[in-house]
C-alpha cells in the first residue's frame, strides 16, 4: 500500500472507532427494544388477568392476539439485534488488530528508513542523505543564482583520544561535537557525519565569503569549549581542536563531488597550518 495512503488511513478517524460508535448505538437500540418487549409482555399479562373472569369479546380477543404477535416480533428483533451486535464486536476487534498491525508496520518502516539515512552514533544525517540534500541544494542554487557552501570538518589528533582513553570516551566526544555543530547550524542547512571524526556541513544561500568564515569561527569556538566527560567513575575535561575547509559554489566547484573534494583539500591546509579554517579559494591562489 502506498505510504501516503497509509498515512491518510492513520490520520483519518479509525474504521474500528467508527464501527465501535455504530456498535454503541446498536446496543442502545437493543436495550430499547428489550424494554419495549418487557413492557408489551407486562401489558399482555395484565390484560389476560383482567379478562380471565369475564367474557372476552371477539374484538378484544383479536386485539390481544395482535399485541402478543407484536410482542413476539419485538422479542425476535431483540434476538436478531444481539446477533448483529456480536458480529459487530468481532469486526471491531479484528479491525482494531489490523489497525495496530498497520501502525506498527508504518512505524517500523519509518524507523528503518531513518536508520538507513542517519548515523547510528550521533543521529546526524549520513553521507547518503547529505549527498541527496547537496544535490537538491545545488539544483536550487543553480536555478536561483545563489551561493552554496560546503564545509569539511575534521577533529585534530582525535585518534589519540581513542588510544589514550578508549573508544567509549571517543564516542562521547563525537556525540558532543556533533551536537555542537548542529546547534550552530540553521534549520535549512545540513550537518552530516562523514565518517570517523569527519563532518560535512552544507550551508545554503550564503551571501559572502565573510559570512562563511564567521560561521566557521563560531563553530570552532563552540567545539573548543571543554568537553566534560564522566565515565567509569572517571571525570575528565578534554579540549578538542577542529580544522575546517571551506568550498563555495560556483567559484570552487559546480558539482557535489568537486565541492566536497575541494573542501577536504582546504581542511588539510588548515590542519597543516593550524589556522582553524581555510578557504579553498586561498589554497587555489597559493603558489604551492
Strand partners, 234: 231
Residues 6+ apart with CB under 8 A from 262: 245, 247, 252, 253, 280
For 228, counting Cβ atoms within 10 Å of its Cβ (0-12 exposed, 13-18 middle, 19+ buried), the class is exposed
- Identify whether the C-beta of residue 242 lies closer than 8 Å to the C-beta of residue 173: no
CA–CA distance, 28 with 198 (Å, rounded to integer): 66
Evaluate whether 197 touches 167 at the Cβ level (below 8 Å).
Answer: no
Catalytic residue chosen out of the listed positions 119, 189, 197, 252: 197
**Looking at residue 55, what DSSP letter applies?**
P
Q: Is residue 197 annotated as part of the catalytic site, yes or no?
A: yes
| Catalytic annotation, residues | 197
Amino acid at each position: 500500500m502506498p505510504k501516503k495512503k497509509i498515512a491518510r488511513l492513520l490520520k483519518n478517524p479509525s474504521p474500528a472507532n467508527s464501527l465501535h460508535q455504530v456498535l454503541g448505538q446498536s446496543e442502545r437500540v437493543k436495550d430499547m427494544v428489550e424494554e419495549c418487549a418487557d413492557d408489551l409482555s407486562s401489558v399482555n399479562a395484565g390484560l389476560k388477568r383482567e379478562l380471565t373472569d369475564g367474557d372476552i369479546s371477539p374484538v378484544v380477543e383479536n386485539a390481544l392476539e395482535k399485541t402478543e404477535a407484536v410482542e413476539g416480533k419485538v422479542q425476535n428483533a431483540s434476538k436478531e439485534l444481539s446477533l448483529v451486535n456480536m458480529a459487530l464486536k468481532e469486526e471491531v476487534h479484528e479491525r482494531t488488530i489490523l489497525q495496530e498491525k498497520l501502525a506498527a508496520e508504518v512505524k517500523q518502516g519509518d524507523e528503518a528508513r531513518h536508520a538507513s539515512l542517519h548515523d547510528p552514533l550521533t543521529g546526524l544525517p549520513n553521507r547518503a542523505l547529505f549527498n541527496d540534500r547537496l544535490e537538491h541544494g545545488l539544483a536550487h542554487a543553480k536555478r536561483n543564482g545563489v551561493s552554496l557552501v560546503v564545509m569539511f570538518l575534521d577533529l585534530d589528533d582525535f585518534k589519540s583520544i581513542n588510544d589514550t582513553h578508549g573508544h567509549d570516551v571517543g564516542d562521547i566526544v563525537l556525540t558532543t561535537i556533533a551536537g555542537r555543530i548542529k546547534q550552530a547550524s540553521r534549520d535549512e542547512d545540513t550537518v552530516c557525519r562523514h565518517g570517523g571524526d569527519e563532518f560535512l556541513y552544507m550551508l545554503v544561500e550564503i551571501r559572502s565569503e565573510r559570512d562563511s568564515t564567521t560561521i566557521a569561527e563560531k563553530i570552532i569556538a563552540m567545539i573548543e569549549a571543554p568537553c566534560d566527560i564522566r565515565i567509569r567513575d572517571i571525570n575528565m575535561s578534554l579540549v578538542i581542536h577542529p580544522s575546517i575547509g571551506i568550498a563555495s559554489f560556483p567559484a570552487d566547484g559546480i558539482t557535489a563531488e568537486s565541492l566536497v573534494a575541494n573542501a577536504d583539500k582546504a581542511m588539510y591546509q588548515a590542519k597543516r597550518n593550524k589556522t582553524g579554517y581555510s578557504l579553498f579559494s586561498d589554497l587555489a591562489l597559493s603558489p604551492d
